Amino acid sequence: MKILHTSDWHVGKVLKGQSRAEEHKQVLAGVMEIAHAERPDLVIVAGDLYDTAAPSPEATRLVTRALTALRRTGADVVAIGGNHDNGHALDALRPWAEAAGITLRGGVRDNPAEHVIDGVTADGERWQLAALPFLSQRYAVRAVEMYELTAAEATQTYADHLGRVLAKLTEGFTEPDRVHLVTAHLTVVGASTGGGERDAHTVLGYAVPTSVFPGTAHYVALGHLHRSQRVIGPCPIRYSGSPLAVDFGEQENVCSVTLVEVGAHSAARIREVPVSAAVPLRTVRGTLTQLAEADPPEGWLRVFVREQPRAGLREEVQELFPRALEIRIDPELLPAPGSGTRVAQRAGRSPRELFADYLGSRGHDDDGVRDLFDELLEEVER
């Protein structure tokens, strides 16, 4: 059977105030083109369909149309909720999804059997997929209790709970003539972050070892980390990555989807298929003179200016680079915290002196800013 694995669409993403709706339309159209060309038997969307738990009507319309278009290629489609998604809202769409022939699992349900999906390809290859949406630490404990597994003790870790839940969902992975698959939205120990993930859900407390996945699984399709990568484990484990760079920290990532060909008695053959429709993200560095002489690169820009801060600098850079979404003083030029800058003593010193000390500590020694402060202070003191 052939599987198209994708994740982390983040539809509705706004980057530094810039909507990326048109980019998402082009990117998802590119995913559809790959699906039409490759004709997969199964499409797995491993979470974070949306960028926010309260998506706009436009974002909802784009996601539902994309899932419908994937289903119309003839593939079975399974999508799960990620940490950016509202699991309850996705589950509310299940009647629509079922009518469209799409399997949608937004959150963990009381009955573990609802997370075990069986199917058969047009050529007769039987498959079973354990689908685990994102679980917060609090709901991981609840899931363990719901499934009547070992009692959840306060000292047990998130990884302990996830291991027990996955063991329950994959306990049927024993039949020899069936392809056994897992999809989940989580962080695995040893994997590399892409640069734009939500830090609170990628820290060590949320990371699980690869041992939570059974060695009998033919392929594990993961979402959550935005960089496409293989993870070493007891079975083939892979993040598909996001099909577009979500933030400037991901500008070097190769945006793609993953194609997998696997059988009950044959090892998974995996390849990446690039998706290049999104506007690229670029970082530019230099002095104002260097920036003025440079040709603006294509894409959305982050500009690190190698100048001391002063009033009007941002506007000058914006004029040179109209597509700059972020303009900052190069972090290498800013004084390090606790680098020996003088700490102002408040007693007996004027507000202007204190403000001058503050500007100096921030590397922002500008007469124009001090004069503006004086004007504002005079207004307040009248």
Residue 294: pLDDT above 70?
A: yes
235-290 pLDDT, tens digit per residue, is 999 999 999 999 998 888 889 999 999 999 999 999 999 998 888 999 999 999 99
334-345 pLDDT, tens digit per residue, is 665 555 444 445
Closest CA to 82 of 122, 130, 134: 134
252-261 pLDDT, tens digit per residue, is 888 999 999 9
d(CA 210, CA 174): 19
- The CA-atom distances, in angstroms, between 280 and each of 49, 53, 94 are 20, 26, 34
- The residue that leads in pLDDT, 351 or 156, is 351
Instruction: Please spell the DSSP secondary structure of 58-111, one letter per residue.
Output: HHHHHHHHHHHHHHHTT-EEEEE--TTS-HHHHHHTHHHHHHTTEEEE-S--SS
| Per-chain mean pLDDT for the chain | 88
The model's confidence at residue 35, banded by pLDDT at 50, 70 and 90, is very high
Check residue 260 and give its pLDDT: 98
Which parts of 191-252 fold into alpha helices (H)? Answer: none
